[in-house]
Structure 1
Amino acid sequence: MTAGRGAAPGAGGPSPREPLLLGVRHHGPGSARAVLAALEAREPEVLLVEGPPEADAVAKLAAHEEMRPPVALLAHAVDDPARAAFWPLAAFSPEWVALRWALGRGVPVRFFDLPAAHSLALEGAGDGAGGGGGPEAGEREDVRLDPLRVLAATAGHDDPERWWEDVVEHRGGLAADPYAPFAALADAMAALREAHGDGGHRRDAVREAHMRLHLRQARREFGDGGVAVVCGAWHVPALTARTTVAADRGLLRGLPKVKTEVTWVPWTGERLARRSGYGAGITSPGWYGHLFSAPDRPLERWMTKVARLLREEDHAVSSAHVIEAVRLADALAALRGRPLPGLGETLDAVLAVMCEGSTVPLSLVHDRLVVGDELGEVPAQAPAVPLQRDLTRLQRSLRLKPEARERELALDLREEGAAARSRLLHRLALLGVDWGEPVEGRTGSTGTFRETWRLCWRPELSVRVAEAGVWGTTVAAAATARAEALARDAGSLAEVTALAEQCLLAGLGGALPEVMRVLADRAALDADVGHLAQALPALVRSVRYGDVRGTDAAALREVAEGLAERVCVGLPPACAGLGGDGAAEMRGHVDAAHRAVVLLEREEVLTRWRAALRSLAVRDRVPGLVRGRCARLLLDDGLLADGEAARLMGLALSPGTPPGDAAAWIEGFLAGGGMLLVHDGRLLSLVDDWLAGVPGESFTDVLPLLRRTFSAYEPGVRRTVGELVRRGPSGPGTGAARWEDAPGFGAGLDRERADAVLPVLRLLLGEGAFGAAGSGPGSRTDGTTEGKAATA
Structure 2
Amino acid sequence: MTQSPFAALREQLSDAAAAFAGTPGALSGILSGMVDDVDRALGEQLEIFPVCHHSPGSALAMARRLRDKQPEVIYLELCEDLRPVLDELRNCRLPVSLQAFATELDGFPDAWGPLSVVAPITEASAEYQAIAYALDTPGVELVLVDRSADHVFQWSPQEQPDQPADAVGMEIGDLRPRFAELEEHLLHHGKVRHWSEWWDQYVEQPLAGADYDTYRQVMVLIGSLFRRLGPDDAGRLARDEDRERYMWTRMREHLATSGADPERCLYVCGAFHAASRVEEFGLAAERTEFAITPRTATTWLYGIVPASHSAIEEQFGLAGGSVSIAAATFAKAVSRGGVKPYQLKEHASKRPARARKAASPVRREPLADRLSGFLSRPPVLDELDEAELLGWSVDIVRLARRNGYLASTADAIAVFETSILLAGMRNRARPTPYDFQDAAVTCIEKDTVPGRRDVRRLCEILLGGDRIGEVGYTAMPPLAQDVYDRLAPLGFDLKKRAVHRALLDLNADPALAPCSHLLWILHRLLPDGAVRPIMGSRRLGERSVQESWDLALGHHQRALIELGYEGVTVEQVLEQRLRRRVWDPKATAAVALEAVEDAIVFLGSRRLTEELGARAVELLAAERTVDDAPDVLRGIRRLLAHYRATEPALPDWCERFVTTGYAHYCTLLPSAFVAEDIGVRQVAAMLGFLSSMEGLALSLGCDRAQLELAVRQSHPETPGKVALLWGAQFRLGVLPLAELRERCDELLANPLVIPSFPQYISGFVQALEPAPALTPFVVEVISNAFARLPDEVLLPWLPMLITTLRQEAPELVPVLVREAGRTFPGTLAAVDAWVPPWTARPAPRAEARPVVAGGPVAELLAAHPAAIDAVAALLGCEGGWQPLGQAVPSGSGPAGALLTRHPATVTAVAELLGGGATS
Q: Deviations over 1:512-566 (max 9, x none)?
A: 122234445666898998766541212334567889xx98797479949984997
Deviates more, 1:104-113 or 1:495-504: 104-113
Report the CA distance between 1:205 and its aligned residue.
1.9
Could you tell me which residue of structure 2 aligns to residue 267 of structure 1? 306
Whether the aligned pair in 2 keeps the contact of 1:294 and 1:301 (CA below 8 Å) is: no
Query: CA–CA distance in 1 between the matches of 2:579 and 2:42?
Result: 66
Whether the aligned pair in 1 keeps the contact of 2:220 and 2:274 (CA below 8 Å) is: yes
Equivalent position to 2:224, from 187, 190, 195: 190
Whether the aligned pair in 1 keeps the contact of 2:75 and 2:268 (CA below 8 Å) is: yes
Equivalent position to 1:257, from 287, 295, 298: 295
| 1:475 maps onto 2:573 in alignment | no
Q: Which runs of 5+ in 1 are unaligned?
A: 129-133, 606-611, 634-642, 714-738, 750-781, 783-792
Query: CA–CA distance in 2 between the matches of 1:448 and 1:595?
Result: 24
Whether the aligned pair in 1 keeps the contact of 2:186 and 2:198 (CA below 8 Å) is: no
| 1:74 maps onto 2:109 in alignment | no
Whether the aligned pair in 2 keeps the contact of 1:29 and 1:289 (CA below 8 Å) is: yes
| 1:536 maps onto 2:642 in alignment | no
Which letter maps to 1:346? Answer: Q
Deviates more, 1:213-222 or 1:111-120: 213-222
Query: CA–CA distance in 2 between the matches of 1:316 and 1:595?
Result: 60
Query: CA–CA distance in 1 between the matches of 2:47 and 2:136?
Result: 19
Could you tell me which residue of structure 2 aligns to residue 161 of structure 1? 196
Query: CA–CA distance in 2 between the matches of 1:321 and 1:363?
Result: 19
Say if 1:242 and 1:553 are closer, same or farther in 2 by CA, change over 3 A. same
Report the CA distance between 1:358 and its aligned residue.
1.1
Report the CA distance between 1:300 and its aligned residue.
7.0
State the secondary structure of the residue aligned to 1:208. Answer: helix
Query: CA–CA distance in 2 between the matches of 1:257 and 1:703?
Result: 67
Could you tell me which residue of structure 2 aligns to residue 785 of structure 1? none
Query: CA–CA distance in 2 between the matches of 1:593 and 1:300?
Result: 76
| 1:624 maps onto 2:719 in alignment | yes
Q: Which runs of 5+ in 2 are unaligned?
A: 7-33, 107-112, 161-165, 336-386, 700-706, 729-737, 768-774, 809-823, 835-908, 910-919
Say if 1:154 and 1:15 are closer, same or farther in 2 by CA, change over 3 A. closer
Query: CA–CA distance in 1 between the matches of 2:159 and 2:719?
Result: 60
Which letter maps to 2:122? Answer: A
Which letter maps to 1:180? Answer: T
Q: Deviations over 1:691-730 (max 9, x none)?
A: 65769xxx99x899569548969xxxxxxxxxxxxxxxxx
Could you tell me which residue of structure 2 aligns to residue 376 of structure 1? 469
Q: How does 1:78-477 map to 2 (within 5 A)?
A: 80=106, 82-106=114-138, 108-116=140-148, 119-120=151-152, 122-123=154-155, 126=158, 136=168, 146=178, 150=182, 153-154=185-186, 156-157=189-190, 159-169=194-204, 171=205, 174-175=208-209, 177-194=211-228, 196=230, 200-213=236-249, 223=261, 225-238=263-276, 243=281, 251-258=289-296, 263-269=302-308, 270-276=310-316, 284-295=322-333, 315=404, 320=409, 323=412, 326-327=415-416, 330-331=419-420, 333-334=422-423, 336-337=425-426, 339-343=430-434, 345-346=436-437, 349-350=440-441, 352-353=443-444, 357-358=448-449, 361-362=452-453, 366=457, 369=461, 375-382=468-475, 401=494, 416=513, 417-426=515-524, 428=525, 457=556, 465-466=564-565, 468-469=566-567, 473-477=568-572
Could you tell me which residue of structure 1 aligns to residue 673 of structure 2? 578
Could you tell me which residue of structure 1 aligns to residue 88 of structure 2? 61
Which letter maps to 2:613? Answer: M
Whether the aligned pair in 1 keeps the contact of 2:45 and 2:263 (CA below 8 Å) is: yes
Query: CA–CA distance in 2 between the matches of 1:460 and 1:407?
Result: 18
Say if 1:254 and 1:162 are closer, same or farther in 2 by CA, change over 3 A. closer
Whether the aligned pair in 2 keeps the contact of 1:45 and 1:227 (CA below 8 Å) is: yes
Whether the aligned pair in 1 keeps the contact of 2:85 and 2:98 (CA below 8 Å) is: no
Whether the aligned pair in 1 keeps the contact of 2:73 and 2:265 (CA below 8 Å) is: yes
Which letter maps to 2:194? Answer: D
Say if 1:530 and 1:16 are closer, same or farther in 2 by CA, change over 3 A. closer
How many pairs were matched up? 670
State the percentage of identical aligned residues: 17
Q: CA RMSD in A?
A: 6.6
Query: CA–CA distance in 2 between the matches of 1:516 and 1:207?
Result: 49
Deviates more, 1:341-350 or 1:144-153: 144-153
Say if 1:138 and 1:580 are closer, same or farther in 2 by CA, change over 3 A. farther
Query: CA–CA distance in 2 between the matches of 1:647 and 1:246?
Result: 100
Q: Which has the higher Rg, Structure 1 or Structure 2? A: 2
Query: CA–CA distance in 2 between the matches of 1:36 and 1:127?
Result: 42
Could you tell me which residue of structure 1 aligns to residue 681 of structure 2? 587
Query: CA–CA distance in 1 between the matches of 2:76 and 2:195?
Result: 25
State the secondary structure of the residue aligned to 2:720. Answer: helix
Say if 1:669 and 1:235 are closer, same or farther in 2 by CA, change over 3 A. same
Whether the aligned pair in 2 keeps the contact of 1:627 and 1:665 (CA below 8 Å) is: yes
Q: How does 1:479-494 map to 2 (within 5 A)?
A: 479-480=574-575, 483-484=578-579, 487=582, 492-494=588-590
Report the CA distance between 1:500 and its aligned residue.
1.2
Say if 1:397 and 1:175 are closer, same or farther in 2 by CA, change over 3 A. farther
Query: CA–CA distance in 1 between the matches of 2:99 and 2:115?
Result: 14
Q: How does 1:548-567 map to 2 (within 5 A)?
A: 555=650, 559=654, 563=658
Could you tell me which residue of structure 2 aligns to residue 512 of structure 1? 609
Equivalent position to 1:37, from 64, 68, 72: 64
State the TM-score, normalizing by the size of structure 1: 0.63
Say if 1:180 and 1:659 are closer, same or farther in 2 by CA, change over 3 A. same
Report the CA distance between 1:422 and its aligned residue.
0.9
Query: CA–CA distance in 2 between the matches of 1:575 and 1:17?
Result: 81
Say if 1:211 and 1:524 are closer, same or farther in 2 by CA, change over 3 A. closer
State the secondary structure of the residue aligned to 2:118. Answer: strand
Report the CA distance between 1:177 and its aligned residue.
2.7
State the secondary structure of the residue aligned to 1:113. Answer: strand
Could you tell me which residue of structure 1 aligns to residue 591 of structure 2? 495
| 1:48 maps onto 2:75 in alignment | yes
Report the CA distance between 1:51 and its aligned residue.
0.8
State the secondary structure of the residue aligned to 2:613. Answer: helix
Query: CA–CA distance in 2 between the matches of 1:351 and 1:121?
Result: 46
Deviates more, 1:401-410 or 1:236-245: 401-410
Whether the aligned pair in 1 keeps the contact of 2:313 and 2:323 (CA below 8 Å) is: yes
